[in-house]
Amino acid sequence: MNLKRVVVTGLGTLTPIGNSVSQFWDSLLQGVSGAGLITHFDSSDLRCHIAAEVKGYEGTDHFDRKELRTLDLFAQYGLVAVDEALRDAGLDCEKVNLDRVGVVFGSGMGGCETFQNELLSYCEGHYVPRFSPFFVTKTIGDICAGQISIKYGFRGPNYCTTAACASSAMAIADSLMMLQLGKADIMVTGGSEAAIIPIGIGGFASMKALSLRNDDPATASRPFDKDRDGFVLGEGSGALILEELEHAKARGAKIYAEITGCGLTADAYHIAASHPEGEGAMMAMRQAIADSGMQLTDVDHINTHGTSTPIGDVSEPRAVVRLFGDHANRITLNSTKSMTGHLMGAAGAVEAIATVLSVKNNIVPPTINHFTDDPDIPQLDFSFNKPTPRRVDFALSNAFGFGGHNASLAFRKY
């Protein structure tokens, strides 16, 4: 089958280190940490008091009060990022075939804040005898994709991908394949998450997944460092406009990079822990490279999953060494989670955007907060503590999720 080529023509972000793509990218290159003490709620009853929150966001700056009644925070974040991405792509909805514009948007936890608050109110007797009529439509994970299509009139393929922390990377992969197969001309894709709430912090802390470095939030996310103790929960959204190449050229769109392939696998190993030798991660990267028609030695950069957890930060570098052999030492790796925290279902999209910008700008943002080498981790080039200027022609962006879900996305300089 003659698959169509696909390019990235628009980007949008809302993150703990910037509420636009330009702010996000500048903060990455400057090594800014988005972590701090939790302000969204009183965390004094919990073990973890730190998170990477979106800063300076006001819903009323983007939506009227009637709209806000119908939107959980995760959907608000998604719509804001998509708005920036569409403007960045220069898309005029009156000049494209809306039947050929689709939306695949991921979320790991959906409207969890709405779910929490509605149940608390019910248990306290505030909603007897009824729930909010928007309870269901604010909570379901697919509603962000639905809201995007309603706002802009996009009538192409429309759904949500849910694969824990790989959710938005899976959304991008699905969107790529839709375009390659000619099911659409344009796909709006990415993911959104807003889980910095008591049940989010409490639940992940009870799994011993979160850093408890409450006295030093800015250095709490320490991917690949010997003294890492868990991830910092983040929130936000990332959106990409993917477009069939000839369609993009016909309308004179600017092109950031070409997305050339994806690898999707399962560890089939454990509900939360990654395979100790990175078996699924290795397979996903190999598939993404083969899908692209490239060679292992063509890879210049990998934006790793790199969460700052004891097990995951060992298995992924091991997978890199097993797959690439000697070439592993010529790849520049990084973990942008050291700055953004872990955006869960939005992580794959936000990190894909960082990877696209590395390909476009020939520079790899740093992995901050590295203090001590871990002898259990292969000593590769992790771009520790400062950005690495280098030619980036071909790069991978990895995202892995609880349940053993693995996704690797491949981007090439256009």
CA distance 352 to 411: 9
Output the six-digit token pair for 387: 């950005």
Angle at 246 between CA 245 and CA 247, to 5 degrees: 90
- Residues 6+ away with beta carbon under 8 Å from 19: 13, 54, 55, 56, 57
Q: In angstroms, how far is CA 311 from the centroid of its own chain?
A: 20
CA distance 190 to 54: 17
* Phi, psi (degrees; rounded to nearest 5) at 116: -60, -50
Do 371 and 259 form a contact (C-beta atoms < 8 A)?
no
370 catalytically annotated: no
Catalytic pick from 165, 262, 275, 405? 165
Catalytic pick from 49, 247, 301, 342? 342
CA distance 268 to 191: 24
* Phi, psi (degrees; rounded to nearest 5) at 186: -135, 140
Catalytic pick from 247, 275, 301, 305? 305
CA distance 317 to 339: 19
β-strand pairing of 405-412 with 363-364: unpaired
Nearest to 108 by CA among 311, 404, 308, 401: 401
State the virtual CA torsion across 300, 405, 40, 160 in degrees, nearest 10.
Answer: 100
What is the amino acid identity at position 268? Answer: A
CA distances from 359 to 392, 397, 413 (A): 5, 11, 6
Do 349 and 259 form a contact (C-beta atoms < 8 A)?
no
CA distances from 79 to 14, 102, 205, 285 (A): 10, 15, 29, 30
State the virtual CA torsion across 327, 330, 335, 336 in degrees, nearest 10.
Answer: -130
Rg (CA), the chain: 20
CA distance 366 to 183: 38
165 catalytically annotated: yes
Enzyme catalytic residues:
165, 305, 342
